[in-house]
Amino acid sequence: MLPAAIDALTAELGRTGNASSLHAAGRAARRTVEESRERLAAALGAHPSEVVLTAGGTEADNLAVKGLFWARAAADPARRRILVSAVEHHAVLDPAHWLAASQGAEVVHLPVDREGRVDLASLATELRSSHERVALVSVMWANNEVGTVQPIAEVVALAGRYGIPVHADAVQAVGAVPVDFAASGLDALTLSGHKVGGPLGVAALLARRGLDLTPVLHGGGQERGVRSGTVDTPAARSFAVAVETAARARPDVAPRIAALRDDLVRRVRAAVPDAVLRGPDPLRPGAAPTDRLPGNAHLTFPGCEGDSLLFLLDSAGVQCSTGSACRAGVPQPSHVLLAMGVDEREARGALRFSLGHTSTAADVDALLDVLPEAVTRARAAGLASAAVAGRAARR
């Protein structure tokens, strides 16, 4: 967490008051919440009334997908289609699939190219042929695994022709690339506290004024009546401080992190020539710094299993991820890589290195000190596994 966000959180934790109460302590808490809302809005190019505070990015995504689907289907029962990119986070994909399984929604997965960018022609075709049946479009601002920044402006322009609302999960994007809600033309946008140096357990859905959203949580009618529940005042203030700080620091921090990431990619390629960078190549001539999240390097290592590499690097003090989070503790081949046309075997050798505002050149040096040996060992482990499978198959 950013020190300023920790200070804000701990200062507020000592204060009493429910922002919904009418007495002095309640009014003070309300004032803190509303000031925080204004600061969030200002940092994100939104109007304060567009900020709906939630207890996490997953909740905000659920509110966007379910809330928009229910509201649109209630207004016009023919609108049952949910258009999502094939590389969405599970917090968007799973609510959409749940609506399909239980409420008669139809989920359309928009394909992506080899770099993970959503195919606009498919979106255009889909909208042209069935726009009167579409409830909403949800395309993430930037992908959490491979860092691809999506063409949000083009998505908004296409859907806008038919007046179809667009949601973007921008959890990875805020603080990493410029995000301006009003300028984006989006109807709804998700951001989360802990991804910008704020606390865990607080997030927001920016929802355009007048956007018809059916609530997921019912109760006291807080947050425009679409998200009931006592507002977490300390978290709101700390979240606002973090977003404000991250947005202000971004023009200096993002290029520094991107330079470190580029160095990492260059050196990994030199050390392990057959490693494959997934997502847009930031070293390609003409690459724009906003094509890819600055702190993201996602690579596949042929012949290695990601869990072997993760174990070896973790033992050597380098913490990375096998690409996507585990489902129920079991590493699954990433749906993002599969959607990008990576085959299942290659997808198993995936590792994601994430750099943040505290990362240094020494961290990249430390990785390169241990990576070549780890890859050699992981390959041997992969060969051992392949030999076992081959022998078993012959029996």
The contact set with other proteins (CB under 8 A) reads: 307-308, 310-312, 314-315, 326, 328-332, 377-378, 380-381, 383-385, 387-389, 392-393, 395
Q: Are 197 and 51 in contact (CB under 8 A)?
A: no
Nearer CB in complex with other proteins: 179/320:
320
**For residue 259, which of 364, 175, 352 has the smallest C-alpha distance?**
364
The one-letter code for the residue type at 311 is: F
CB under 8 Å to 31, separation ≥6 — which residues? Answer: none
Strands (E), 174-275: 188-192, 203-207
Nearer CB in complex with other proteins: 112/304:
304
Q: Which of 153, 326, 383, 387 is catalytic?
A: 326
In angstroms, what is the minimal distance from the CB of 272 to other proteins? 17
Rounded Cα–Cα distance for residues 240 and 210 (Å) = 23
In angstroms, what is the minimal distance from the CB of 394 to other proteins? 11
Buried b (16+ CB within 10 A) or exposed e, 233-261: bbbbbbbbbbbbbbbeebeebbeebbebb
Q: How many CB atoms lie within 10 A of CB 58?
A: 20
Please, is 118 exposed, middle or buried when counting C-beta atoms within 10 Å of its C-beta (0-12, 13-18, 19+)? buried
Nearer CB in complex with other proteins: 75/388:
388
In angstroms, what is the minimal distance from the CB of 310 to other proteins? 7
Nearer CB in complex with other proteins: 24/393:
393
Task: Considering only the C-alpha atoms of the chain, give the largest distance between any 2 of them, rounded to a whole number of Å.
Answer: 78
In angstroms, what is the minimal distance from the CB of 24 to other proteins? 45
Nearer CB in complex with other proteins: 288/389:
389
In angstroms, what is the minimal distance from the CB of 301 to other proteins? 14
Distances (CA, A) of 191 to 114, 134, 195: 26, 24, 8
To the query of whether residue 304 is one of the catalytic residues in this protein, the response is no
- What residue has token string 């679409």? 226
- Residues carrying an active site annotation: 326
